[in-house]
Amino acid sequence: MSATLLFFNLISLSICPSLSASVVEDLNNLLPPPDFNTTISNNCLREPSLRYCNYSSIDLLEIFKSTIVAAHLCNESKNPNCVESFPKIDLQSSPRIAPLYLSFSFFWKYCPLTILSIDLSNNSIEGPFPLEILNCTQIHALDLSHNQLTGDLPIESFTSLTNLTLLNLSYNHFSESKISDSHFFARFNSSNFLHSGLLPDHKGFRIKAVILLVCFPILVILIVACWGWLCFCRPDILPSVFQQRHKFTPTMLKTATSGFSEKNLVGKSRGVEIYKGVLTDGTEVRIEIYTEKISMEQRRKFVKECKVLVQLRHRNLVRVMGWCNRGRLRAIITEWMDGENIEMWLSGSPPWKHRLKVLKGVVDGMRYLQEQWPEIGYDLRTSGVLLSQERGPLISRFKVGEQNGSSRKTYRFGVFLLEIITNRRPQEEFEKGETGFIEWVSTHYPGNTQKVIDERIKKTGTMYEQATEGIELALMCTDLTLGHQPSLTQISNKLKAYESSLVSSSPNNKKSHRERGESHKL
């Protein structure tokens, strides 16, 4: 009689009469028969290789229980010759009972030697690899596919399964492990570990590669597009290294003026719209937009001129910050001046010494332009010269490539000077405009100057003398006869002399010092 037969004889003898109950009930209720001692002893005598024979202290109750589990498992495996042999544990697709049988560690400890195949596939078994199974070292086949096993595979423990030829661990969630390094797993290939998590997932890898191949270029394109948009539309929010100074884009101007809103429109005339804007760094600017359509050639000239204008640096010149020449938008951006222009200022009848200060500032700006940028013209009108609290008068409205030479500029200064002295507006008050204005002044010079000098200037004393001299100077400036005009240096020297004589002639020296301080602040 073979050992297996003995083993199952024992089961059928002792358990079969009441095996209809559940395995748990049987484990709780059944007791070993009285001669169980002897049966086990006899079995071991005949077949010492039986697993339970090798334990030093034989736990009879544990062995008995394992025979109950074996009998139930045998039935569950639907093996027709269960009693004679028990070659297979088949709990495939039995997710309700498979974990229960796995939990009977005493059964696996004495795992019958006749079992050659264990199939626990498709059972939703969770947790780490069930180590107890490996107590059945003799098995040829082990299928644990389609479960939820996680964690590391106990690679070392597999080496005792020398006869294992069919292994399936596919469709689990193991951690990736180096089974390819193990000598034991060399006899298996990837079809044993499909989607087990153990092998680097080629499909996943391919998906990752595809994602990378598709997404990376898209990302690069997006970054490039984003960068391009920034460079093209909003260079002002780029780091300063990448900014093109002086070049403004339509988007920047649109942002600065809240979309060219009515609220920011401060002036409008034929072909020109003037907006007040705030740049991203908080600087207030004046944006002069030219709506007139011009040719490409003129546009090129415009940019060329702007490139010159942004280089102007003088305290008495309005600073040109940049330009925009993109699409239909053509604009010049200058610093914003909150103050009034000279025309408005004059209507408040400022004191003579303040007028002198303004004249000196204007001449300073003119001299700078004459020496450094003779090709730049400007519109020297009382309405075109702004007044800043800190910097004094500011010449604006430049024009590059001015054909009118310095003589014309000096002429314009003459008219400007006369306006300062007389506080009259030639365009409004005289029929022939400027010419009429000059004629009117010269008819009263030198005999009747009190008629032309602004009545707010005292009719006596140094100031009055200076105003009278100023008229002479102005008339020289407006005299276009060759060689009659004074140079800007001469004009400047004269104004300086007026200023200092104003100080020294003052009756009260202390007061004059204070006044001088004030006038410097202008």
Ligand X SMILES: *[C@@H]1O[C@H](CO)[C@@H](O)[C@H](O)[C@H]1NC(C)=O
Residues at the site binding ligand X, with contacts judged by CB under 6 A: 19-20, 37, 48-49, 51, 54, 60, 75, 93, 109, 122, 131-132, 134-135, 137-138, 145-146, 162-163, 168, 170, 189-192, 194
Distance separating alpha carbons of residues 382 and 397, to the nearest angstrom: 12
**Amino acid residing at 76:** E
Task: Locate 496 and state its tokens.
Answer: 């300086």
Report the nearest approach of ligand X to the CB of residue 198 (Å).
13
Q: At its nearest, how many Å lie between ligand X and the CB of residue 71?
A: 8
**Could you write out the DSSP letters of every residue in 400-430?**
ET--S-HHHHHHHHHHHHHHHHH---HHHH-
* Radius of gyration in angstroms for the set of CA atoms belonging to the chain, rounded to a whole number: 53
Q: What are the two backbone dihedrals, phi and then psi, of residue 172, each rounded to the nearest 5 degrees?
A: -140, -175
- 93 or 492, CB closer to ligand X? 93
Closer to ligand X at the Cβ: 77 or 468? Answer: 77
Residue 494, SS3?
A: helix
The packing angle between helices 433-443 and 406-422, to 10°, is 60
Kindly state the smallest distance separating residue 92's Cβ from ligand X, in Å: 7
Q: CB nearer to ligand X: give 100 or 233.
A: 100
**Strand positions, DSSP E, 169-269:** 173-174, 265-269
> How many other CB atoms are found less than 10 A from the CB of residue 17?
9
Return the number of the residue (49 or 403) whose C-beta is nearest ligand X: 49
Q: What is the sign, positive or negative, of the torsion defined by CA atoms of 324, 330, 332, 337? A: negative
> SS3 string of 7-19?
HHHHHHHHCHHHC
Q: Closest separation between CB of residue 125 and ligand X, Å?
A: 12
Query: Which is nearer to ligand X, 50 or 306 (by Cβ)?
Result: 50
Minimal distance, residue 208 CB to ligand X, in Å: 21
Nearer residue to ligand X within complex by CB, 132 or 335: 132
Least distance from ligand X to the Cβ atom of residue 224, Å: 43
Q: How far is the CB of 117 from ligand X (least distance, A)?
A: 13
Nearer to ligand X, 129 or 413 (CB): 129
Read out DSSP for 440-492?
Answer: HHHHTTTTTHHHHS-TTS-SSHHHHHHHHHHHHHHHHHT--STT-SPPHHHHH
